[in-house]
């Protein structure tokens, strides 16, 4: 590391202390160090240097999604999955090394391995093995991320054949049958991934239908794609027990008052994310949390404690790495700039669920727009029916839908749902248009390259009514 000062009871004072090596914190640390500030970064696990995105979340899962989609029928499942996991580990290892160097190479950055606990105002005690270090700082940023939520279900504890989304990425042996508890975005992404690798996948979802936040027509297209690929989704399923046995795990659930059981070689618990604040000693620093345990912040990301901020998942906001990156911009503006940026500035923030094909959305759904009283106009087409955009057909997967929600009074785009090959790229163009009040008509009549997924906008925005 840049410096080792792990003597028992050693003391350090810095301009900025970052607890947790997440996207927002590591970026801010580099910016502040390059601005001549003394910075300390504390991380308790070498396995997540660089943050969860590159180590256990965005990057490794998308490697596995990509490789799963490219598996051929005659590939040996166990061998192919093992190769994909090896590629995952190699790439994330290289990224972790690069992320370490990005801070380690800066002379004014102190990297500390250990667990931090607040002992007072802007004061933490870091414990690493037998060594302790007390660090005080002018500014503290908590960037400790989130954990997989373990539901209060009988027998639902990690280990054996029961996994969270991190552990399942290294499942061995490869499960012939996988049960996913939870039909949210993470659960469906892993369901899609594992069915393409060769598992028989069943999703147990509490809701009436998957993707409850999407319009019914969009959700139906997605559900059909998952079904076509071999995923079974059981709706309105309430899981009551999970049991790990000698040869298989058994999940007990109720549907319509009837108790049922399903066996599998692996069970994934995918029922949301929980805070990582246990043991941080937030109370000793006067840092308040909400009822879910996430740190409460204002629109400048300030906690209830003077000089202490919280960025990324730990503040309970949208759990995307690019939101954590934007959190960093807000803090950099406060610490080095004019302090004008806030979370309230954010508009048209897109997201993608990497199913096959991916689901990308920005802004309001049709249902939400109608509830808010807009003069709603809609343009929607199945991707297979968009004659002027053959990209998806060229790539052999024309499934999906393109749907736009437009304000009839202003011709501004209120939202879009894109389910098709490359939708994760196209959604950024739509979001940019929304942020700058580009009208639906302008977006419709723009020149796009051919053959591209983006040019579907020409045709779909031409049927808005």
pLDDT digits 0-9 by tens, 418-450: 999 999 999 999 999 999 999 999 999 999 999
CB-based burial, 9-32: b 16+ in 10 Å, e otherwise: eeebebbbbbbbbbbbbbbbbbbb
Note the residue count of the chain: 465
What pTM did the predictor assign? 0.96
The widest CA-to-CA distance across the chain, in whole angstroms, is 70
pLDDT over 70 for what percent of the chain? 98
User: Going from the N-terminus, what domains does the chain have, and what CATH number goes with each?
Assistant: 10-148+274-345 (3.50.50.60), 162-271 (3.50.50.60), 351-463 (3.30.390.30)
CA–CA dist 248, 265 (Å, integer): 5
CA–CA dist 27, 103 (Å, integer): 9
Catalytic center residues: 450
- Positive or negative, the CA dihedral 117, 295, 339, 331 is positive
Which residues contribute to the annotated binding site? 62, 144-146, 182-189, 272, 313
Which residues contribute to the annotated binding site for NAD(+)? 182-189, 272
Angle at 133 between CA 129 and CA 134, to 5 degrees: 145
In DSSP notation, 8-52 reads: TTEEEEEEEEEES--HHHHHHHHHHHHTT--EEEEES-GGGTT-H
DSSP-derived letter for residue 180 is E
Token pair, residue 258, equals: 């009837």
At 230 the pLDDT is 98
Which residues contribute to the annotated binding site for FAD? 62, 144-146, 313
Q: Which residues pair with 412 in a beta bridge?
A: 439
Q: Is the pLDDT of residue 1 over 50?
A: no
Token pair, residue 247, equals: 């040869």
At 222 the pLDDT is 98
DSSP-derived letter for residue 159 is B
DSSP-derived letter for residue 296 is P
Q: Is the pLDDT of residue 338 over 80?
A: yes
At 384 the pLDDT is 98
Mean pLDDT in the chain?
Answer: 96
Angle at 401 between CA 398 and CA 402, to 5 degrees: 120
CA–CA dist 404, 414 (Å, integer): 8
Q: Is the pLDDT of residue 5 over 60?
A: no
What is the band of 3 on the pLDDT scale with cuts at 50, 70, 90? very low
Chain centroid, CA 277 distance in Å = 19
Chain centroid, CA 106 distance in Å = 29
- Positive or negative, the CA dihedral 431, 434, 436, 442 is positive
Q: Is the pLDDT of residue 8 over 80?
A: no
CA-nearest of 141, 182, 163, 113 to 314 is: 141
* Residue 411 vs residues 376, 439, 440: alpha-carbon distances, Å: 10, 5, 6
CA-nearest of 100, 196, 119, 145 to 327 is: 145
Q: Is the pLDDT of residue 327 over 60?
A: yes
User: Is the Cβ–Cβ distance between 128 and 6 less than 8 Å?
Assistant: yes
Q: Which residues pair with 141 in a beta bridge?
A: 18, 309
CA–CA dist 175, 244 (Å, integer): 14
Token pair, residue 28, equals: 């801010």
At 70 the pLDDT is 98
Question: Look-up: residue for tokens 């939400």?
Answer: 368
What is the band of 200 on the pLDDT scale with cuts at 50, 70, 90? very high
User: Is the Cβ–Cβ distance between 405 and 415 less than 8 Å?
Assistant: yes
User: Is the Cβ–Cβ distance between 111 and 46 less than 8 Å?
Assistant: no
Q: What are phi and psi of 154, to 5 degrees?
A: -55, 120
User: Is the Cβ–Cβ distance between 72 and 83 less than 8 Å?
Assistant: no
């Amino acid at each position: 590391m840049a410096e080792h000062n792990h003597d028992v009871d050693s003391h350090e004072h810095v301009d900025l202390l970052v607890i947790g090596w997440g996207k927002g914190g590591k970026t801010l640390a580099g910016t502040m160090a390059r601005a001549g500030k003394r910075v300390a970064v504390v991380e308790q696990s070498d396995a997540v240097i660089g943050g969860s995105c590159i180590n256990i979340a965005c990057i490794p899962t998308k490697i596995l999604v990509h490789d799963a989609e490219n598996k051929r029928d005659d590939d040996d499942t166990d061998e192919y999955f093992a190769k994909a996991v090896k590629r995952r580990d190699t790439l994330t290892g290289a990224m972790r090394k690069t992320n370490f160097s990005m801070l380690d190479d800066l002379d004014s950055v102190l990297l500390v391995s250990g667990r931090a606990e607040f002992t007072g105002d802007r004061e933490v005690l870091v414990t690493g093995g037998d060594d302790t270090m007390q660090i005080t700082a002018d500014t503290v940023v908590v960037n400790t991320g989130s954990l997989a939520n373990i539901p209060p279900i009988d027998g639902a504890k990690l280990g054996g054949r029961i996994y969270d989304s991190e552990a399942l990425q290294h499942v061995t042996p490869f499960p012939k049958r996988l049960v996913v508890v939870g039909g949210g975005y993470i659960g469906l992404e892993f369901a899609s991934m594992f069915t393409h690798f060769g598992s028989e996948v069943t999703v147990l979802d509490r809701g009436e239908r998957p993707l409850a936040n999407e319009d019914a027509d969009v959700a139906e297209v997605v559900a059909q794609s998952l079904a076509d690929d071999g995923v079974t989704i059981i709706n309105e399923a309430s899981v009551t027990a999970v049991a790990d046995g000698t040869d298989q795990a058994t999940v007990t659930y109720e549907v319509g008052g009837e108790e049922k059981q399903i066996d599998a070689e692996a069970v994934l618990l995918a029922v949301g994310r929980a805070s990582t604040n246990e043991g941080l000693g937030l109370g000793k620093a006067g840092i308040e949390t909400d009822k879910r345990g996430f740190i409460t912040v204002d629109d400048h990301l300030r906690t209830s404690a003077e000089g202490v901020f919280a960025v990324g998942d730990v503040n309970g906001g949208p759990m995307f790495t690019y939101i954590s990156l934007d959190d960093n911009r807000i803090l950099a503006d406060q610490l080095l700039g004019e302090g004008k940026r806030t979370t309230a500035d954010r508009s048209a923030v897109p997201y993608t669920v990497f199913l096959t094909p991916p689901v990308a959305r920005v802004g309001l759904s049709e249902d939400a727009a109608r509830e808010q009283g807009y003069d709603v106009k809609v343009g929607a087409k199945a991707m297979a029916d968009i004659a002027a955009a053959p990209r998806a057909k060229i790539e052999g997967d024309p499934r999906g839908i393109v749907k736009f929600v437009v304000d009839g009074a202003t011709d501004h785009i209120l939202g879009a749902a894109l389910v098709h090959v490359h939708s994760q790229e196209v959604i950024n163009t739509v979001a940019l248009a929304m942020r700058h009040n580009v009208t639906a008509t302008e977006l419709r009549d723009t020149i796009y390259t051919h053959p591209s997924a983006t040019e579907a906008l020409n045709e779909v925005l031409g049927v808005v009514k």
